[in-house]
Structure 1
Amino acid sequence: MAGVTNVAFRTLCRELELAREGTISGLYVCEMVTARALVERHPVTMHMTTFAPDETPRSLQLYTVDPATTFAAARMIADEGLADHIDMNFGCPVPKVTRRGGGAAIPFKRRLFGQIVAAAVRGVEGTSIPVTAKFRIGIDDAHTTHLDAGRIARDEGAAAIALHARTAAQRYSGAADWSRIAELKQHVTDIPVLGNGDIFDADDALRMMAETGCDGVVIGRGCLGRPWLFAELSAAFGGREPANAPNLGEVADIMRRHGALLAQHFGEDKGMRDMRKHIAWYLHGFPAGADLRRALALVKTLPELDQLVGQLDPEIPFPRVAEGPRGRQGSPGSVALPEGWLDDPDDCTVPAGADVMHSGG
């Protein structure tokens, strides 16, 4: 969720859960940052790790490929009190990442994967900071790694694991195979196993837990344009009926608040440029008109955002067509990997240049 789950979006989600449910029960994770950039104190990376003053627990997600850098980043987080939880993301299927041996390519190298998890756990030793890990089923159907990855992460001290029930080759296409989450839950029984993939409403979350036995769910694309989803999940898990989905007038108010939070975090110019992608997700399924959509896609200032969303019909109910998949989907494809990557799963050589990239993978 790089470029999405910054402090502005997390604050909005938390506000909506608190307003609807009277409490905050979800864990809201910072967008993914690169461990090397964190250790080197890259200004953009340090800004990405911003948390709201009242945000707790503060959850920071790391992209990493190198045990030494991982240890240094975890030690820095612990020593400087930068976060209360470290989540390690080994699920990114983007070709520019896997081509260098990062992201979803890492768990195939089981010794290296174990060394990375162990380094993070060692880096926070003596603190109450838990380390968790998220990964995919594997590289493709011929190279599945989720059971090994779950066992290794547990053995190296991970407090919980999460499985996105797709292979890297699937990317975000097709359907998530929830049966693999059930397999992992049966394979790793002594730490929580969380499920991820194709949860777009509270019913999906309840069904995943019933079908797989997993201990909780992880939300990704399901919250795009729907920051109130976490309030719905809180209600459903508490045995309460979720509040009605917002009508277009309520969505307009949420968009205004989101824009104000982004402007506060980035400044008005960059905040509005960032807001543009969210507008398309918010209006998915709503009748808004081509001219208004085009104007909103070019919004430059907060007053302009306020004026444009004020043209939306506030009485239009939330459309059923807006339920279901949102965000990127794309098509499956072969996974770009370094030459010889699949030759030896026990090779623990750190992939060259895989962490020389901007934060967020």
Structure 2
Amino acid sequence: MSIKNITLEKNFLALAPMAGLTHAAFRELVASFGGCDLFFTEMLNVRAIVHQNPEKDPYLICGKNDRPLVAQLVGREPELFAQAVARLEANFSFCGYDINFGCSRGAIQRYGWGVSLMKEPALCAEIVAAVRSATQKPVSAKIRSGFEHNREKLISFVETLIQAGVQLVTLHPRTAEEGFRRPARWEEISWLKENFPSLKILGNGDVFGPQDAQKMLAQTRCHGVMIGRAAPLRPWIFRDTKSYLAKGEIPPGPSPQEIPTKMWELISQYLPEELREKRFELWLFWFLQNFPFGLHYFSEVKKEKTLAAKLEKLRQILSRERLRPYPARPYLLR
């Protein structure tokens, strides 16, 4: 399977774009365990790309092994999307551009970005066309169910995107109001597969382990699976899923106590100093949810005054812990 210059194997796996989490350091951590078939950046604000120096933007830092890498763009003005892509084309080597029509966070919706744009299909088509005008690379879109679970509206919206030039669609089958509160309706991924057999479709939502990925592929017949919240807990989930799909086996997990040190080393290598501890803390909040007392552990680590003391406390705590079998399901969001 290929989308122009991106070659994707059957049942391909993608790392979901997650604000504050899927920066270059985390993508490199995922890559160190074998990686995935498609990486996405965090949401990139097209206004910031246009009005700031992109070469100095920490959100645009790329790793060495996080390839193929797609830039995910957020905003609402078509002209800014075109200008942003032109600047990225001149300064970076992304393999494609993904448009965020799915983020349901309050601040994003207040700006009229993300899932709010699903109320304006004509504007979405203009945005896609603007991106297409600035690049020869693949253009994709990440969407939600919209503001209700309505088959006709969802199919009509995706048809609009296809006509505008989108070549791959990722569907997170929850409405804007549902957030993560209700189970993802995987049958809606099947709706897209049935109606658009030639469209490349990524399923996203409630994949917390290799078994879930296998079930989604079997039930929806989508081309690939995008994994989000489970990835900060288990950055090696893509390795495990590939092994499970190919051989029905899940390799032994790494030692938990080694992972925070490895993550900090990558953060120190790739992120500017003013962001390092904040990004490390955010990732740690998720990673420690692998363990029953993870929230308590997180509080104990935060009490330490220095980074060295925090890392030592983590080594002590995690030396007593073992990873539980999948699913790796977070019990808190942030």
* Partners of 2:80 and 2:207 in 1: CA distance: 33
Question: TM-score of the superposition, structure 2-length normalised?
Answer: 0.86
Q: For the pair shown, which has the larger CA radius of gyration, 1 or 2?
A: 1
Write 1 or 2 for the structure with the bigger share of strand: 2
- Structure 2 gaps of 5+ residues are 1-17
Letter in 2 for 1:49: L
What does residue 351 of structure 1 align with? none
Contact 1:85-1:130 at 8 Å conserved across structures: yes
Shift in alpha-carbon separation, 1:324–1:150, aligned structure 2, 3 A? same
Pairwise CA distance, 1:326: 4.7
* Partners of 1:290 and 1:188 in 2: CA distance: 43
* Partners of 2:147 and 2:110 in 1: CA distance: 12
How much identity, in percent, do the aligned residues show? 27
Write 1 or 2 for the structure with the bigger share of helix: 2
What does residue 132 of structure 2 align with? 121
Match of 1:140, SS state, is coil
Q: Structure with the greater relative contact order (CA < 8 A, sep ≥ 6): 1 or 2?
A: 1
Shift in alpha-carbon separation, 1:215–1:261, aligned structure 2, 3 A? same
* Partners of 2:147 and 2:224 in 1: CA distance: 24
Q: Show the 5 A alignment for 1:80-91.
A: 80-91=91-102
Question: TM-score of the superposition, structure 1-length normalised?
Answer: 0.80
Q: Show the 5 A alignment for 1:187-336.
A: 187-246=195-254, 250-267=255-272, 270-286=275-291, 292-299=297-304, 301-312=306-317, 314=319, 316-320=321-325, 323-328=328-333
| 1:12 to 2:23 alignment | no
* Partners of 1:301 and 1:188 in 2: CA distance: 54
What does residue 96 of structure 1 align with? 107
- Structure 1 gaps of 5+ residues are 18-23, 330-361
* Partners of 1:59 and 1:267 in 2: CA distance: 22
* Partners of 2:28 and 2:295 in 1: CA distance: 30
Match of 2:289, SS state, is coil
Q: Which residue of the other structure, out of 46, 50, 53, is the alignment partner of 2:64?
A: 53
Which shifted more, 165-174 or 217-226?
217-226
Which shifted more, 143-152 or 189-198?
143-152
Q: Tell me the number of residue pairs that the alignment of Structure 1 and Structure 2 aligns.
A: 317
Pairwise CA distance, 1:300: 5.5
Contact 1:285-1:321 at 8 Å conserved across structures: no
Structure 1 stretches of 4+ moved >6 Å:
none
What does residue 352 of structure 1 align with? none
* Partners of 1:313 and 1:95 in 2: CA distance: 35
Q: Which residue of the other structure, out of 113, 121, 133, is the alignment partner of 1:110?
A: 121
- C-alpha RMSD of the superposition: 2.5
Pairwise CA distance, 1:149: 2.4
Which shifted more, 300-309 or 66-75?
300-309
Match of 1:312, SS state, is helix
Q: Deviations 1:164-204 (Å, cap 9, x if unpaired)? A: 01010111111000011100111112221111110010111
